[in-house]
Amino acid sequence: MRIATWNVNSVNARLENVLAWFEAEAPDVAVLQEIKCVDEKFPAEAFERLGYNVVVHGQKTYNGVALLSKHPVEDVRKGLPLLDGDAEDEQARYVEAVISGPKPVRVIGIYLPNGNPIGTEKFAYKLSWMRRLHEHAKGLLAFEEPLVIAGDYNVIPEVEDVANPEAWLSDALFQPESRAAFRALKNLGFTDAYMQADGTPGGYTFWDYQAGAWPRNLGIRIDHLLLSPQAADKLAEVKIHRDERDKEKPSDHVPVVATLRL
């Protein structure tokens, strides 16, 4: 089973590129982030024509996530559960479903908050969201099933995951608190799919539109797939489709695809 994650940076603005990639690569399951539309405006029919079941958790203008699967989907959840004392969260950043393939696998798509600027309520929200993800993921691990948490984590885990570390020292994506929360999530028992399958420094998934980041390869790795032990045991490979960044009107992120031998 090939499971993809891609922050498309507005699905309707980049639909031609996105559909062309889906037609060429035909992942079994994909989670999309930053679709930037409400559910009714998501181009579901275009993906259904390619054989996908579509689950959308959208939001006008900002955020939004979607899950696409060539297999039936069950046990759908939209929105990350709150912890005691949390205020209601209206941001569309989380979708979860069980994929009923040859062997069921639970797939989660996330668009983790950016958190900038640090020292504001936006950074506090990022860390709070990561605590909520931690607690929910811990509960799901108890099922002892193949589980994949894929998406734009907005976290640069290590120095090797950024071309120019000095440029990101004051950014929320590279703060010690953000990186520690990501490590704590992995320490529950999750495996970073790219690090297990490849791990070569420079496996970037995002290049800013500014300052010639793409031609100068000033990238960062912030799109991750974390695997439960039952999924990690089945990991065959991970591929970063960096050529998508070189297309006309590209997203600033590229697809990342993990292949599991389920």
Give per-residue pLDDT as tens, 13-28. 999 999 999 999 999 9
Please, are residues 162 and 156 in contact by the beta-carbon 8 Å criterion? yes
Q: How far is CA 87 from CA 90, 154, 236, in A?
A: 9, 22, 40
Nearest of 135, 126, 51, 65 to residue 96 by alpha carbon: 65
The answer to whether 7 is a known ligand-binding residue is yes
Closest CA relative to residue 226, chosen from 109, 123, 131, 132: 109
**CA 45 distance to own-chain centroid:** 23
Distance between CA atoms of residues 92 and 104, nearest Å? 25
Domain at 73, CATH number: 3.60.10.10
253 catalytically annotated: yes
SS3 of residue 258 by DSSP: strand
pTM for this prediction: 0.98
What pLDDT score does 143 carry? 95
Question: Choosing from 71, 136, 224, 253, which is the catalytic residue?
Answer: 253
How many domains does the chain divide into? 1
- Is 145 one of the annotated binding-site residues? no
Q: Residue 139: which domain range?
A: 2-260
Both structure tokens of 172 = 């929320």
Q: Is 192 helix (H, G, I), strand (E, B) or coil?
A: strand
Split at pLDDT 50, 70, 90, the class of 141 is very high
* 253 annotated among ligand-binding-site residues: yes
Catalytic residue among 94, 111, 153, 194: 111
Do the beta carbons of residue 8 and residue 18 sit within 8 Å? yes
At 86 the pLDDT is 83
For 178, the token pair is: 């953000």
The helix (H) or strand (E) run that includes residue 256 is: strand 256-260
CB 4 within 8 A of CB 25: yes
pLDDT above 90 (res 207): yes
What is residue 211's predicted lDDT score, i.e. its pLDDT? Answer: 87
Residue 87 has pLDDT above 90, yes or no: no
Q: Any binding-site annotation on 252? A: yes
Are the C-beta atoms of residues 95 and 83 closer than 8 Å to each other?
A: no
Read off the tokens for 248. 């006309």
Q: Among 17, 7, 86, 76, which residue's Cα sits nearest to residue 46?
A: 17
Q: Which of 57, 71, 136, 152 is catalytic?
A: 152
